[in-house]
Amino acid sequence: MYELNENKLAEKLRKQCHENGKEKDPKESAETLHKLGKVYRKKSPDKQSLMQSVGLMTSSLIRRPLNLKEIAQDLEEVCTHIVELAGVHGRYEDVSKVVTDIKQQIEIFRESCRTKMNVITKISDNADQSVLIKLQLKKMTEISGVQNFINKTYINLMQGICELCLSLLGEAPCKFAVAGMGSLAREEITPYSDFESIILLEDEIKEKSHFESVLDYFRWFSMIFQMILVLHGETVLRFLAIPCLNNPHDKTKNWFYDEYTPCGICPDGFAPAASKNPLGRQTPTSKKPWTTELIKTVSDMVKYLESDEDLKNGYHLADILMHTCFIFGERNVFIDFSLLVNTRRCPIMLASCSQRFLYEKQLENDFDVHSFFSFQIKRRGLTEMDLKRVFCRGCTLFVSALGTWFGTESSSCLKIIDELLEKGVLLEEDCHKLKFAVADCCEIRLRFYLQQDGQSDHMFQTNFKFQKPEMINLADAVGKSSLIDALATIAMLQKSLLNFVVRGRLAKIFLILPEIPPLRPLICSSLRLHTTAIELCRKMSRNLLNMAFSYRKLLFMCYIDALMGCVRYAEAARVINLNLKNIKNAKMLDLLMFCYDNLRFCFFAIEDGKRSIKFCRKTNFLVYFQLCLGLLPDDAWRDYYKCLGKFTKAMKLIDKKLHFELQENTVHQAVWTFSKICTIKDIVCCNCNVLKKQNIGLEN
């Protein structure tokens, strides 16, 4: 007999994983996932539990364990049970056939995308200014064509699944429409994006006595639809919010990291902050003890556009519902909804004080998380930029925010920019820059996902590995100048919009501010284009006297970062030493610490031990001074203790950090520090948390 106790199985799975939640042996853990799937099958008729059961069994099949046949039979039984609960008997074969067809269609779809991306115009870094605009326009047209192809194909796939659901359940009890949201509505979807959707019902049906049975019909419609997408095999387990593995309400039970299930086309997740699917938010929390269903009549769905409803739901549902597209059903129902949405669409600049406050608060939050300047302030040393967070999301979020401020009706970023140009809000030159930046964002995301063959939470320039020998990274694939130009435009858009909303909200024309002098060197340094950064820094250093001190400081730090990135430590040390005598002001403490810390590293690299220790002590003194003032986080205390040789105290802080942050750098620090307080025999024999966390051998 299988042990069907959920908590015991979760504990067993935890032992089969490293402490970062990643599985040691996927074939071994597949059996435990299969048993967990059977546990959730027992929770029928709860829809969310049944979907979690399907997800667990599908994921266990992907890991190719020895009992494949048994898992396949259990998975078929769960799916047959769901279909029968929906009132359809003996039709699972239809579902299975559609899943197979969809897999084939998706493979053809993605291969077509790869073919189209291979012929996208690549703009030379040395392109003449006279032909540059024409080349950019050509590239924008090509990217727009690829996105249109992806949007149409993706919608056709979803329509095929809707048609199967309708044929299984029989004729719909009323007129309805399935509407898409998110990147699909913005026309920026990829062949690996999840599907965010709602179901709209005609208003007349609410007055009927059988309205509850109508809702039940569409709940099962949505259930079968999501089941087909999960059976496709690209739904990562954390998206299903399985309580004992990834419980969003309890950090101690949110530990499992599914790295074996491909991340691709799937329904939107069940986590409270997601749940942008017709079944909606089914799990109440202590702070928000309610549920949200997105199967509603047109009039009821429009109520979510009210600001208090939006806040109550816990995520920005109002903004998402403002931008939708028709997928399936009666187009007139969708048109009725769109017309009602447009009547409530009001430029934020003319809205009430409370709405403007919410908008500004969200904009400040987006700037803090997704802006290039915020990233630069938070970074410490040679940190590579997350292109997905800063570049792609940073672009679409701020273009959409600009459209919301001026009350545009379009959903697509490119169409928002065109609409702003027609309204006279944007200048033609700024319009061209923004459209080219949006096109570059779409190209980067598409290239990365197609190369990875799946979605990714993070994107870094050095992670791009292309099959063509001439395309070894992102800058080579897209074009270095194009990438830098686009990112510079996005960075200044972010800064300009925040400045505009806070200070110039009554203006009728939006102008993108001129680039700050150190912007391009900073971009190059963040992209690990160190040689280009050095060239730009040297070029700009001729005008240092005309720069503000803050810009000179950024340029200097960028130059040192770039030199060290090129492994030119002796030169970096010489430049720092030449500038140390100019750093005397107490307000320049952070710059002084930057200099000492980098000198320590440079002298260590060139094997000048005495001078390395000297600057290590100076850095140590500055760290202690700032720690006493409460200016630095726990990380700095860790470094301070290591400098003093107090490795036991440093180890406690590292071990504490590893529970919340499983970065490679933190793990290596842990192993190094642990080696200072133990003998080699101790490291091998003792039950060390750090070694268990990553299953690290002595060779590391």
Confidence of residue 619 (pLDDT cuts 50, 70, 90): low
**Per-residue pLDDT at 638 exceeds 80:** no
Do residues 241 and 291 both lie within one domain? yes
**Per-residue pLDDT at 668 exceeds 50:** no
**Per-residue pLDDT at 588 exceeds 80:** no
Do residues 396 and 326 both lie within one domain? no
Do residues 362 and 494 both lie within one domain? yes
Q: At which of 310, 345, 380 does a domain end?
A: 345
CATH number at residue 500: 1.20.120.330
Do residues 357 and 459 both lie within one domain? yes
How many angstroms separate the CA atoms of 629 and 267, rounded? 49
Q: Three-state DSSP class for 336?
A: helix
Do residues 252 and 391 both lie within one domain? no
Residue 690: per-residue pLDDT: 40
Tokens of residue 374, six digits: 């915020």
Least confident of 8-12, 85-89, 239-243, 557-561: 85-89
Residue, of 694 and 273, whose pLDDT is higher: 273
Residue 627: per-residue pLDDT: 46
Residues in the chain: 700
Structural domain contains residue 30: no
How many C-beta neighbours within 10 Å does residue 128 have?
8
Confidence of residue 684 (pLDDT cuts 50, 70, 90): very low
Tally of domains in the chain: 4
Q: At which of 289, 316, 345 does a domain end?
A: 345
Do residues 620 and 676 both lie within one domain? no
Residue 589: per-residue pLDDT: 66
Do residues 322 and 271 both lie within one domain? yes
Do residues 429 and 285 both lie within one domain? no
- Rounded to 10 degrees, the C-alpha dihedral 611/616/619/620 comes to -140
Structural domain contains residue 377: yes
Confidence of residue 649 (pLDDT cuts 50, 70, 90): low
Q: At which of 297, 327, 345 does a domain end?
A: 345
Structural domain contains residue 6: no
**Per-residue pLDDT at 652 exceeds 90:** no
Structural domain contains residue 39: no
Confidence of residue 633 (pLDDT cuts 50, 70, 90): very low
Residue 644: per-residue pLDDT: 46
Residue 224: per-residue pLDDT: 93
Read off the pTM: 0.83
Mean pLDDT of 113-142: 89
Q: For residue range 409-451, list pLDDT tens digits in order.
A: 888 899 999 999 998 889 999 999 999 999 999 998 998 899 8
**Per-residue pLDDT at 94 exceeds 80:** no
Q: For residue range 501-554, list pLDDT tens digits in order.
A: 776 555 677 888 888 888 899 888 888 888 999 999 988 888 877 788 788 888
Do residues 239 and 197 both lie within one domain? yes
Do residues 177 and 227 both lie within one domain? yes
Do residues 242 and 383 both lie within one domain? no
The Cα-based distances of 303 to 322, 340, 344 in angstroms read: 12, 10, 10
Residue, of 664 and 601, whose pLDDT is higher: 601
Structural domain contains residue 22: no
How many angstroms separate the CA atoms of 596 and 402, rounded? 42
Do residues 359 and 317 both lie within one domain? no
Close Cβ partners of 391 (under 8 Å, ≥ 6 residues apart): 385, 441, 444, 459, 486, 487, 490
Residue 458: per-residue pLDDT: 74
The parent domain of residue 505 ranges over: 353-515
Q: For residue range 302-342, list pLDDT tens digits in order.
A: 988 765 544 444 446 777 888 899 999 999 999 999 999 98
Query: Considering all CA atoms of the chain, what is the largest pairwise distance in Å, rounded to the nearest integer?
Result: 87
